[in-house]
Amino acid sequence: MKFDLTATDLHSKARAGVITTDHGQIHTPIFMPVGTVATVKGVFHRDLKDEIKAEIILGNTYHLYLRPGLDVLKAAGGLHKFSAWDRPILTDSGGYQVFSLAENRKLTNEGCTFRSHIDGSKHMFTPENVMDIQRVIGADIIMAFDECPPGTATYEYAKKSLDLTQGWLGRCIKRFDETEGLYGYSQTLFPIVQGCVYPDLRRKAAEHAAALDREGYAIGGLAVGEPAEKMYEMIEVVNEILPSTKPRYLMGVGTPVNILEGISRGVDMFDCVMPTRNGRNGMLFTSEGIINIRNLKWRDDFSPIDPNGSAFVDTTYTKAYLRHLFISDEMLGAQIASMHNLAFYLWLVRESRAHILAGDFAQWKEMMVPKLSVRL
């Protein structure tokens, strides 16, 4: 993997660049639709490419390990072939899911034992086998195994957690560097910077990660219960230390406003379930504000879903029709809303990139943030 920094905004830390992988290029800043179980829920890959214009999607190690399982993925030739997606893929380490979904989990220096949320079967994740699992899944960019403490964790817990994560990171790198990919293309390992909401822990984690000189870095453990301003502060602390020549990935974030604030602080890559999860519940993100399509006010609004939208669903269907689908529990409603939201998120990062290249990102962002927060 290679990263070329193209431009930096004059009045913020926002950057535009290009990540090159064996499955294609990724123009940053970028948003990655979340395809937890080998699919972005409710969206065809054709539409991901043509309408949403996704350049990379995310898969989840925990879920894919449990179902369909490594034997199926390996026999298929990896996740790209299994899911018929020929562009880049990133997998997270499964650490967040182990700590948030799994039952009866137990943490030790060796790793984490847990019971599946699906059938209660017992499993163990270690830094070594998580690398092996991600080799089998075959994503272009993979994550180190880490613990993700809650945003409300005490300093003592966060410090102990960071020590564990840093110990695991060394073992992840050792295992990754002594193994090779299984499918004839290269994979890249990103360390994850943890440290909760404590600046000294974040600095320690960022310095430790930067010294390892990997091809890119992830910032984890944010948007997990802490105030937004604290999240922005931690991003600033970390990005002062992480090398400017490498891509920075902010994990699991967030709202359109979060993304613009992250970009302005030097983040290059984002993922979040909000576009699809909120879309399935009738919340639409648009350039003029937020719509709850279930509200009665849209019942006889025959204007397009989003006249400024970039996907065909935005101008083909009306707000009234989409509301009808939701009120009637028709699955097409969730599909339309998901496609719209994903297309909007990808539009937002493309526009951000265009304004970074034009040199006026900071001014554009200040104009956009209030609009994106309005409920229509």
> Which residues are part of a known binding site for substrate?
92-96, 146, 194, 221
300 is catalytic: no
Q: In degrees rounded to 5, what are phi and psi of residue 246? A: -125, 150
177 is catalytic: no
Block residue for tokens 């669903």? 313
First to last CA, the chain: 42
Q: Which two structure tokens, joined as six digits, stand for 52?
A: 């949403």
Q: Which residues contact 229 (CB under 8 A, 6 or more apart)?
A: none
* Cα distance between residue 23 and residue 220, in whole Å: 25
Closest CA to 130 of 77, 174, 68: 174
Q: Which two structure tokens, joined as six digits, stand for 264?
A: 């302005």
Write down the catalytic residue from 92, 140, 306, 314: 92
Closest CA to 340 of 275, 271, 268: 275
Q: Which residues are annotated as a binding site?
A: 92-96, 146, 194, 221
User: Alpha helices, DSSP H only, in 12-154?
Assistant: 45-50, 61-66, 70-76, 79-83, 95-100, 127-137
User: 149: cis peptide before it, omega within 30°?
Assistant: no
Instruction: Classify 162 as helix, strand or coil.
Output: helix
Q: Which two structure tokens, joined as six digits, stand for 329?
A: 């529990």
CA angle 53/278/39 to nearest 5° reads: 50
Q: Which two structure tokens, joined as six digits, stand for 126?
A: 């270690």
Write down the catalytic residue from 9, 47, 268, 271: 271
Q: What residues are labeled active site?
A: 92, 271
